[in-house]
Amino acid sequence: MQTPGTQGGTHVSSAPLTLSETSKAAPELLRNAIDRRIVKIRPMSTPVDQISRMMGARRAASMEVEYYSVDTKLTESTVKADCDLSEATDRGNGTMSVTMRVEHPAIFEPSETVLIPDCPSAGEHTVGYVMAVNPSGGTIEVALVGDGEPFGLIASGSRIIRMGRAAAELDVQTPQVQALPTKGRNRCQIFKMQVEQSTLQKLADKEVGWTLSDQEEVAIIDMRLGMEKNFLFGRGAKIYDSAKADYIYLTQGIWNQTDNSMKVNLATLSHKDLIDICAATFTGNNGSHSKILLAGTDFVSAVSKLDVNRTLDVRDAKVRWGLEVREIVSNFGRLYLIHSEVFDQCGHSKDAFILDPDYVTKYTHIPFHAEKLDLRSAGTRNTDAVVLTEASCLVLRHPKAHMKVIG
């Protein structure tokens, strides 16, 4: 009999503490124990699945997972049309105002200050104050500070950078900052693997003390390799199988969940290119300062041939998330390099994916478990069989924090 405890736990009375009771009272205890055993099976072959299990999973109430992500507000935009500041309106006190057409007017708010580094005035970058914003017209009205010095031309394509707000002495309020989350959706895919004539027959009775035979290990590594490919390069879909009269769910891989990408030429790859990769992945997205670089054979080979210098250091192997990684240290952040043969098998041997572990989440609708099939009693075959099942998916909660590197 289970009764709630005084400190929020559950007590079992008038009965021995069995695995079935434990499964009811604390199901995550046994699931975590299973994951701890699974991650010890050839972890380097399936780094994405490995990391997701080491970090834990969230329960999904259905096969279709909906989640929200909020990207940080853009910090800069570009000017869409030439703006001749000699035609600006004089506002007195050494300032003048001008209406500018910009690429992303909605990111600006009245009372913000802006920096225009491509338009020097009196030897300094031009600084302005946003007077008004017209998102529908694509324009902003900016008061520019010039101290009476002549201004030049702000050419199309020039950057305009958001800075801090400036309030008047009697101001109490300021325009609101609004960051609406974007809804994303992924589907849990049901992964299955069947093992026959196996010592896994009574797995449900000894989940924590699970020992593996060679056959079981081969089956699980094959299952994990299939999951790894789907987690990386899968395309989300919902397919109706008329023969089964049921829907089949395919999960969306993390490669297809971000548009953030850059291209590199592996034939001429230098340490400068790798520094540029670090600069691109660690700036402009407020992500972590330590990320994972998953790469195919050709990409890893090109990186391994680089000469390091004082601004880029490739250190000896270390263990993170149960994986052996090479640490690439730059002034922008750290990359943990992991060679993944799954990239080769899926036609991406020249490519890499930079994963921010703080912004990836695994959702599980059906946790990894084993179910015994009595094929002998069913008259099918004179064997005992165990079916391994998991329904899960991976989602990138902050897509800009991750990046595809295309060789």
Q: Which of these ranges, 114-118, 128-132, 392-396, has the smallest mean pLDDT?
A: 114-118
**Cβ–Cβ < 8 Å for 352, 48:** no
Which residue is listed with tokens 């909020």?
70
Beta bridge partners of 319: 324
**Cβ–Cβ < 8 Å for 336, 290:** yes
pLDDT for residue 65 is more than 70: yes
Specify the pLDDT at position 149: 57
Mean pLDDT across 322-329:
82
Specify the pLDDT at position 120: 55
pLDDT for residue 139 is more than 50: yes
Alpha-carbon 256 to chain mean position: 11
Q: Which of 394, 126, 96 is nearest to 257 (CA)?
A: 394
Give the residue extent of every domain in the chain.
Answer: 22-70+181-407, 76-165
The bridge status of strand 89-92 relative to strand 95-101 is antiparallel
- Tokens, residue 283: 């700036």
Specify the pLDDT at position 28: 45
Specify the pLDDT at position 350: 93
pLDDT for residue 276 is more than 80: yes
Mean pLDDT across 230-234:
89
Specify the pLDDT at position 69: 61
Q: Which of these ranges, 25-34, 212-221, 223-232, has the smallest mean pLDDT?
A: 25-34
Q: Is 164 exposed, middle or buried (0-12, 13-18, 19+ CB in 10 A)?
A: exposed
pLDDT for residue 32 is more than 60: no
- Tokens, residue 198: 């196996």
Specify the pLDDT at position 198: 45
Which residue is listed with tokens 């924590």?
208
Specify the pLDDT at position 169: 61
pLDDT in tens, 283-321: 877 778 889 999 999 999 998 888 766 556 666 667 777
Specify the pLDDT at position 67: 66
pLDDT for residue 270 is more than 60: yes
Instruction: Give the integer Cα–Cα distance in Å for 200 and 254.
Output: 32
Specify the pLDDT at position 70: 57
Q: Which of 395, 401, 398, 403 is nearest to 185 (CA)?
A: 395
- Tokens, residue 26: 């604390």
Mean pLDDT across 2-19:
44
pLDDT for residue 34 is more than 60: no
| CATH number of the structural domain 22-70+181-407 | 3.90.1690
Alpha-carbon 226 to chain mean position: 20
pLDDT in tens, 173-227: 555 555 545 667 788 888 887 777 544 444 444 444 444 566 667 777 888 888 8
Selected residue with higher pLDDT from 117 and 180: 117
Specify the pLDDT at position 208: 44
pLDDT for residue 105 is more than 80: yes
**Cβ–Cβ < 8 Å for 395, 67:** yes
**Cβ–Cβ < 8 Å for 276, 329:** no
Q: How many helices (H) and strands (E) does the chain have?
A: 7, 26
Contacts of residue 184, Cβ cutoff 8 Å, sequence gap at least 6: 66, 67, 68, 69, 257, 395
Specify the pLDDT at position 296: 92
Q: Which of 134, 144, 83, 137 is nearest to 108 (CA)?
A: 134
pLDDT for residue 30 is more than 50: no
Specify the pLDDT at position 26: 43
76-165 maps to CATH 2.40.30: yes
Q: pLDDT-derived band of residue 48, with 50, 70 and 90 as boundaries?
A: confident
Specify the pLDDT at position 209: 46
pLDDT for residue 345 is more than 90: no
**Cβ–Cβ < 8 Å for 76, 118:** no
Instruction: Give the integer Cα–Cα distance in Å for 162 and 152.
Output: 20
pLDDT for residue 10 is more than 50: no
Q: Is the pTM of this model over 0.75?
A: no
Specify the pLDDT at position 11: 44
Give 79's DSSP letter: B
Show the CA angle centred on residue 321, arms to residues 229 and 302, nearest 5°: 60
With DSSP H G I counted as helix, E B as strand and the rest as coil, what are the percentages for the chain, rounded to 5? 25, 40, 35
